Amino acid sequence: MASEERIRATYWLHCPPSDASREAEELCLEQTVEVPGELVKEGWIRDHIVGRIERCRQYQGFFEVEVSFSPDITACTLTGLLNVLYGNISLKKGIYLSALSLPGSFVSSFQGPRFGAHGVRDILGVHGRPLLAAPLKPMGKSPQELGALCYELACGGIDLIKDDHGITDQSFSPFRERVKECIAAVRRAEEATGRRVLYFPCVNSDFEDMERHIRWAVRQGVGGLLISPFITGLAFMKYLAASRFAGVPLMAHPALTGSFFQGPGQGIDQAVLLGTLMRLAGADLVIYPNFCGRFPFTGPQCLSINKALSEPLFGIKEALPVPAGGMSLENIPALRGFYGDEVVFLVGSSLFLRRASLRENASYFLSLVKKEGEGSKELRPPLTKP
Amino acid sequence: MASEERIRATYWLHCPPSDASREAEELCLEQTVEVPGELVKEGWIRDHIVGRIERCRQYQGFFEVEVSFSPDITACTLTGLLNVLYGNISLKKGIYLSALSLPGSFVSSFQGPRFGAHGVRDILGVHGRPLLAAPLKPMGKSPQELGALCYELACGGIDLIKDDHGITDQSFSPFRERVKECIAAVRRAEEATGRRVLYFPCVNSDFEDMERHIRWAVRQGVGGLLISPFITGLAFMKYLAASRFAGVPLMAHPALTGSFFQGPGQGIDQAVLLGTLMRLAGADLVIYPNFCGRFPFTGPQCLSINKALSEPLFGIKEALPVPAGGMSLENIPALRGFYGDEVVFLVGSSLFLRRASLRENASYFLSLVKKEGEGSKELRPPLTKP
């Protein structure tokens, strides 16, 4: 198989120089055959199944090793890819997956986002500016109360309204009641303003209920679905994105992914996990922790995710980046300067805290992205509280 | 609601003493309402939805905070529990989930393992000694070759034979062909020896195929199913454990969980994740990295998992611990001394490397657990290679 038709994963190995080549070789075995090298010295399994060290170079304090894998060993599945990339070695120490390059022959087995960035914009009829998103919160409000918030946000000019990802199907906010209220609120607002709004209910649930909830919600006319793929299973989102019954945009939430991003000593690079893998798994929109918010991502980390969501990937559609988590209205002009227009700004508490009505706050938010140059371009101190 | 009817999670916060109470309060908000405290100062949401600090004490360098949550906010789902325990705060730094205590009212929504430790032993008719497990490997062997290995292992005395967890439905080892070969091998061996053997095919796959594979495999008569819940989604295993169509024991593999276990500075305690959560999600057998193998778990970490798999949990059946990952035959007597009899020893490479036939090696393995006191009780240097 031509080398360019292989999956290429770059790892950082934190080990003494004398151990580097042995550690790299053991990684190639651990992620594939799971036997010592002496049991696969030569032959088809050694040549075709065992990972291959393509390149190894030393940096200060660690080694960067590029390993290639045959796509065949993943059975061209997302689950197979996850396992080959980081299944067993996640359990070791000092191995970081820093980059991933997938060959066209592998990617062609995936559909990726059904709508993608352009598709979502086409549904909304909004181009040339950042999209605006806002959450319905806090958990504990009744479906009627959340529906009322939804109406105000929609009238004010928010494009995408999502449930907080912890709001699921609780006794105090049953899924169906909430979805009905919010769809009705969005319809009323659309009639009043003539502007399209998409409501994304949170569909996270145990398996027994999730598909049933989704089928019902899509029939009711939800604008999209919010899902936390590392809570429900990443492969389930891929299944939704390719299914007939869930033909609406999917917004992915990063809950439970944080332990992978604790630094370059161990884990998976945020651009690989929240960028490439989320996109491959069919997310049309990917929420991640914005820098200068209450989570410790940096600006360059955020841009690396955006790049992975939009760079050419063998015909897989681009996904929209959704920085969130302590986004402040004050920072929107500066953030627009930083991110450009191909982004969704998800603002929560800052919308609810501003001293005007929620509808006025939403309108103000819209005004910030409608007029180039309005507002301070300087980043203000972050919102550090939830 | 009575305090004992709440979910109790213990976190270690790594922060300066002056920040501790603010950090604890923000955790309670972040995991529930996701708004600053000033938006939920009082009332039903503050009392019922926001997490409650039950206890906070300082240790050297960190704070131990016990937080309680109302089970209602999880909608009594596994996905809801995962999200409340560690969804958003996984994305922060310096927060470690060290312990979990669940109330009976919450646990009663879960079935847990269908068979449990006793059920698996009853199927096998083996009591009073550790069970023996072995993998079929390496990836790349044909279904016929794997079937032949399966026969030898079964004749030699292995109780539970599983696919390596990377072997799924590859072109070089199609799932159905492999399952047919291995079931036939097990049947022949059972007839020859009169001893029951269970074969666990690896069912990891993308959603489109997984349930179909499982339904088919169970109809063919597999002894159990091997699944990596953090690859496929933990809730999917729970669904299987409660389903009508997958009425065989489930063996859970820890692939992709390692980033949670990088130390007490961040992540989730192994006894919570591989113990309580795997058991709650219905694993009858839980594989984890043995100490003195090639993964960095310690002996006390392993025992903490065993405890979580077997301690009383409101009628939820006990699950069997399966230490694995560089288990050496030489160490089996000592490991039996360490773990006792309520354990499954999963030995891979050491069985394949010993200089005798595979069947003889399996018989030797069985002899080590049949006779009390045989072999050295001293732990030998670990097998560090895959």
Mind listing the pLDDT tens digit for each residue in B325-352? 989 999 999 999 999 999 999 999 999 9
CA distance B299 to B311: 18
Q: How far is CA A16 from CA A1, A19, A22, in A?
A: 33, 5, 11
State the burial class of residue B326 (Cβ atoms within 10 Å of its Cβ: 0-12, 13-18, 19+). buried
**Where does the pLDDT of residue B355 fall: very low under 50, low under 70, confident under 90, or very high at 90 and above?**
confident
- What would the two tokens of residue B269 be? 């305690």
Chain B from 94 to 133: CB within 8 A of any A CB: none
CA distance A341 to A115: 18
Nearest-Cα distance to chain B for A86, in Å, is 6
- Partners of residue A30 in chain B, C-beta under 8 Å: 386
Of B231, B227, B196, B233, nearest to B214 by C-alpha is B227
H/E element holding B74? Answer: none
ipTM surpassing 0.90: yes
* pLDDT value of position A355: 86
A230's CB contacts (< 8 A; 6+ apart) are A254, A255, A256, A257
At how many degrees (to 10) do helices B299-310 and B332-339 cross? 50
Counting as low any pLDDT under 50, the low residues of chain A are: 373-375
Q: pLDDT for B262-285, tens place per residue?
A: 999 999 999 999 999 999 999 999
CA angle A262, B73, A137 (to 5 degrees): 75
Nearest residue in B to A51, CA atom: B139
Q: Please give the DSSP secondary-structure letter assigned to residue B382.
A: P
Query: In angstroms, rounded to a whole number, what is the distance separating the alpha carbons of residues A150 and A184?
Result: 9
The residue of chain A with its CA nearest to that of B110 is A206
Per-residue pLDDT tens for B173-197? 999 999 999 999 999 999 999 999 9
Residues B101, B104, B108, B110, Cα dihedral to 10°: 10
**Which of A45, A209, A235 is opposite residue B206, by nearest beta carbon?**
A235
**Contact indicator for A132, A160 with CB cutoff of 8 Å:** yes
- pLDDT on residue B382: 53
Residue of B nearest to A91 (CA): B258
Q: Is the pLDDT of residue B141 over 50?
A: yes
pLDDT-based confidence at residue B373 (cuts at 50, 70, 90): very low
A90 touches chain B (CB under 8 A): yes
DSSP, collapsed to helix, strand or coil, labels residue B158 as coil
What's the DSSP call for residue B261? G
Amino acid found at A41:
K
Q: Which amino acid is at A287?
A: I
pLDDT at position B375, please?
Answer: 46
Tell which residue, A238, A286, A274, A284, has the closest CA to residue B232: A238
| Pairs of CB atoms within 8 A across A/B | 296
Burial B19-32 (b: 16+ CB within 10 A, else e): ebeebbbbbbbbbb
pLDDT at B374: 44
Of the candidates B154, B135, B202, the one whose C-alpha atom is nearest the C-alpha of residue B174 is B202
Strands A131-136 and A344-346: parallel
pLDDT value, residue B76: 95
Among candidates A36, A44, A386 on the partner chain, residue whose Cβ is nearest the Cβ of B29: A386
